[in-house]
Amino acid sequence: MSNPILEVQGLSTTFHRGGVTLPALRDVSFNVGKGEVLGLVGESGSGKSVTLRSVLGLARRYGEVTGQVRWQGQDLTGLSEREMRHIRGREIAMIFQEPMTSLNPLLTVGRQLTETLKAHTDLNRRARKDRAIEMLDLVGIPAAASRLSDYPHQFSGGMRQRVMIAIALAVGPQLLLADEPTTALDVTIQAQILDLILKLSQDMDMGVILVTHDLGVVAQTCDRVAVMYAGRIVEQGAVRQVLKGPRHPYTVGLMQSVPEGVAPRTQLYSVPGTPPSLAALPQGCAFAPRCAFVSAACAAKRPELESVGEGRELACFHPVEALDGVASKAGAHPASSPHMTEESAA
Amino acid sequence: MSEVTVNSTPNAPKRMTRARLALAKPGFLLGCVIIGISTLLALFPQVFAPYDPNFIDYLAVRQPPSWAHPFGTDSLGRDAFSRVIHAYSVNMQMAVLATVFALVIGVVVGALVGYYRGIADMIFGRVVDAVITFPFLVLVIAVVAVLGPGLINMYIAITMVGWVYYARLMRAEVIAQMGNDYAAAGLVMGYSDRRIIFRHLLPNAITPVVIYWMTDMALAILLGSSLGYLGLGAQPPQAEWGVLIAEGRNFITTAWWLSLMPGIAIVLTGLGFSLIGDGLADLLRPRG
């Protein structure tokens, strides 16, 4: 983390839809180091994907983006569309959730692989083909050379995601944005794909931002994690520390929602309430209406994201203090967990 | 035409089975045979027609069908059969020229507004509403009335109105295709908009347009001969089915075959294109 390749400072994205202003992203700041894996977690609509799209300069087509995205010292938000095209795909690549639709069904896998190489490198036809085979081989597709002429529908979901990864990494980007890359795959395949991403990131010394709503995935793969809620980062830090001792009540709630070690036939825990509408965010802390620790201060003023030591940042007036046992205790009594956390905090 | 679309279907190994499937459809096969023969007649009418279509023979005026003149002769003694055959050149040309420019313009405009949306799309929506409110024929006649009668002006008029229908279809399909991640994937790979639109979205979105094109060619022949009949399209003495029907109109009680035969030619070619369109719709429909 000494030398971040990506520094995001105060990134805000606002969409305007039919007279309604939607602050999809507010004041988001984080860093990604070389070869580091950052997890971005949160509920649907919390701004995870918008963050990725804003970093790549795709969100500005549809909304207003302010703040800084410093990529290896250069501010990407100031670049023209043409300049951004040289960054996208070549230096920062992205893969998507739906491997079934993220490949063009009419072009062979080989054509789609060589297309990126053609767009971003000076390799000749033969070298492109060799590189394509090498990449398919690297992502673990058997008989790679013979599969270049196959069409996407001839691959299974997991294999297609491998192809997507091969395409994304063919040019050798230094940062991979992975937007829930395993959500649409079944569990056994999920682990394989995550292992693959992790291994490639280590081999290529490539940073990864992994968007997911699965804390298990975060625990397995990420170095650091940022928890998002209603367009803001509410807590971030090293995975080990955050997952061991979550301090934001929302992080605590998320962790309790992971059905682990729960006795059969007990009700699963879920954070009470639903996320607020972006069009009508509360004035204070966006999580306040759902929070067990809410006070008058929370509704009046929004807590800022501040450093709490050890490289951790937190945006909460009433951080959960018990650094161990919260999640496991709550897991044992899932139905009454909000009270449990309060007790363990006391 | 059909081969191109079959080639662009996603699965190469299935191409054979698809081709076989096509042949197994009697309607599609019949359509191909009709249009195949029509195309031959259009390209080489002099091979099939026994007489010069404009050769006037005052010794053989308004004769009933016979071995020498299968469809009889008209009031100037011209061979009606030869005139119907030679009309294939003009009418098949209509099917292509009255549609192909509308197709190209419509596909490009539709793909662009579907991709970029925004203000251009809103303006496009108004234009579509305005054009579609009027009956097609009325609008075309209005444009021809302004430009003056004749084949070229007729093509211009039909193109000016017809592209809207292609563009509307293309726009809707492009928007649907953009719901797939491969469009977004193209963006994050750093591809240009042009590359994404024309290399990735367009080939995936064009199937309904191609199917509509077949129907539209049938409509174009109908429209072209309607205008010819009204004196706004092809001009006499050019052999054109609408013109031929109009010429035979005065003798409908005594020499009804003069109008009937070109009418049958219109129905047959129209049927041919429709059958092909129908077959393509079946063949190209995505299957699981």
Summarize pLDDT for B35-93 with one digit per residue, the tens: 999 999 999 999 999 999 999 988 888 889 999 899 999 988 999 999 999 999 999 99
> Is there a contact between A102 and B189 if contact means CB atoms under 8 Å apart?
no
pLDDT for A279 = 85
pLDDT band at B102 (very low <50, low <70, confident <90, very high): very high
Q: How many CB pairs under 8 A join A and B?
A: 72
> With contacts defined as CB-CB under 8 Å, which chain A residues touch B10?
105-106, 151-153
> Is the pTM here over 0.90, yes or no?
no
Q: Domain holding B156: CATH number?
A: 1.10.3720.10
Percentage of the residues of chain B whose pLDDT score is greater than 90: 69
> Is there a contact between B10 and A120 if contact means CB atoms under 8 Å apart?
no
The CA distance from A198 to the nearest CA of chain B, in Å, is 21
Q: Which residues contact B68 (CB under 8 A, 6 or more apart)?
A: none
pLDDT for B288 = 42
> With contacts defined as CB-CB under 8 Å, which chain B residues touch A87?
190
> Is there a contact between A102 and B204 if contact means CB atoms under 8 Å apart?
no
pLDDT band at B287 (very low <50, low <70, confident <90, very high): low
Q: Which residues contact B188 (CB under 8 A, 6 or more apart)?
A: A56, A58, A88, A89, A93, A94, A177
What residue in A sits closest to B181 (Cα-Cα)? A102
Residues of chain A scoring pLDDT < 70 = 1-2, 262, 322-346
A119 touches B at CB < 8 Å? yes
Percentage of the residues of chain B whose pLDDT score is greater than 70: 92
> With contacts defined as CB-CB under 8 Å, which chain B residues touch A101?
179-182
Q: What confidence tens digit (pLDDT) does each residue in B122-144 have?
A: 999 999 999 999 888 888 999 99
A60 touches B at CB < 8 Å? no
Parent domain of B135? 2-284
> With contacts defined as CB-CB under 8 Å, which chain B residues touch A164?
185
A94 touches B at CB < 8 Å? yes
> With contacts defined as CB-CB under 8 Å, which chain A residues touch B179?
101
The CA distance from A264 to the nearest CA of chain B, in Å, is 38
Q: What confidence tens digit (pLDDT) does each residue in A174-221 have?
A: 999 999 998 888 888 888 899 999 999 999 999 999 999 888 889 989
> Is there a contact between A102 and B8 if contact means CB atoms under 8 Å apart?
no
pLDDT for A274 = 85
Q: Beta strand pairing status for A224-229 and A37-41?
A: parallel
Q: Beta strand pairing status for A175-179 and A207-212?
A: parallel
pLDDT for A332 = 39
pLDDT band at B98 (very low <50, low <70, confident <90, very high): very high
What is the number of structural domains in chain B?
Answer: 1
Residue B256 DSSP SS3:
coil
> Is there a contact between B188 and A88 if contact means CB atoms under 8 Å apart?
yes
Q: What confidence tens digit (pLDDT) does each residue in B214-266 have?
A: 999 999 999 999 999 999 989 988 999 999 999 999 999 999 999 999 999 99
> Is there a contact between B10 and A151 if contact means CB atoms under 8 Å apart?
yes
pLDDT for A342 = 39
pLDDT for B81 = 95
